[in-house]
Amino acid sequence: MNIGIIGAGGMASYHYQGFVKAGATVVAVVDNNPLKAKVFAEKNHIANTFGSLKEMLAAMPDLDAVSVVTPNKFHKELTLEALNSGKHVYCEKPPARNASEMQEMYDAALKSGKTLLFDFNNRARAEAQALATYIGKGEVGTINSAQATWIRRAGIPGFGGWFTDKEFAGGGPVIDLLHMIDLALYFMGFPEPEYVLASTFSDFMGNPVFKGPWGIADGTGVMDVETACHAMITFTGGQCLSVRNSWAEMNEREVVSVVFQGSKAGGKIERLFERDGYDETSIDTCTLYTEEYGKQVNREILCEKDETMGRLANAMNFVQVVSQGAKPLNTPDQALRLMKITDAIYESARTNKPVRIQQEK
């Protein structure tokens, strides 16, 4: 399986490592910055570099798949170009900037018959798969309610760059940190959403005290996205999900978690950071809350620590789906449902009213 990576930024390394670990060959890298493409290719012993996807497709007819690792604005157009050229696609999160773009990508995947997966890497974490096993075996019952949280005390990814520009990113932490929303929906079985009520805030934007530690250069563009969001989502089956996402919010420290309450048991997957954004300072836990023989029991599930947060495992799954027929960890229809929820979050925050999501046929 031959794969070309589009975008030589920070996440590209995880894609590369996962693909290779699963037995694929990364044969090319595309970047509109020739130096970035050259450096990435030399570091990873990749033979070919190109300035555009069009160039790569023309030069490499035997390419099987492409990986999209670009700012969110370009996810749709690159994915469509690749799918329409008969290539499988692995796309970085978020799937797109909104549900309309995701619908086009979904339709193109159906028409082409090719695989389209996304880097919802937290589903591939050992802790997430452990809880998913208990859920799949029926030990949790129906998950009635859940709480999805990704909050940073000080973690704005630069000021005026593409992350803080709605035209490029689609939004702020609701879009950037949508992993826990996705993971909660995954545990819940992706129920159909009905209503969303949300508020967003933009406190601390531009304040250097609240900038993240990743060294992303500040740009000269706009800063028109939120820095925090609180939302409640209800579903047609009566379930509910509360959401708290932030780049900058007064909190003890960075917390990444999903907690759920089922008809038979509850559970929690959590990653705590001593320092915002530094994976080496994180502590991962996985717990099942249940009742055994008339006693309230907390089962602590021990899992191997993974500082990549499932990024390699998720990329490996893409290769295994395409080359071996493995079960995909995520699907385009799930991505579309997720983007409908994020659209409704922003619309509710804009109007200060509940938003009803149009029911699927």
Within this chain, domains 2-118 and 122-306+331-356 share the same CATH topology = no
Averaged over 81-109, what is the pLDDT?
98
Domain 122-306+331-356, CATH = 3.30.360.10
CATH number belonging to the domain at 2-118, selected among 3.50.50.60, 3.40.720.10, 3.90.1820.10, 3.40.50.720: 3.40.50.720
- Secondary structure percentages of the chain, helix, strand, coil, to 5: 35, 25, 35
- Rounded Cα gap, residues 260 and 222, in angstroms: 37
Contact 268, 261 (CB under 8 A): no
Instruction: Give the tens place of pLDDT for each residue, 29-65.
Output: 999 999 999 999 999 999 999 999 999 999 999 999 9
Instruction: Give the tens place of pLDDT for each residue, 277-312.
Output: 677 777 889 999 999 999 999 999 999 888 899 999
Question: In the chain, what are the domain boundaries?
Answer: 2-118, 122-306+331-356
Residue given tokens 């925050």 in the structure block: 349
Instruction: Give the tens place of pLDDT for each residue, 249-271.
Output: 998 888 999 999 999 999 999 99
This model's pTM is above 0.85: yes
pLDDT of 344 strictly over 80: yes
CA dihedral of residues 178, 218, 67, 10 (deg, nearest 10): -90
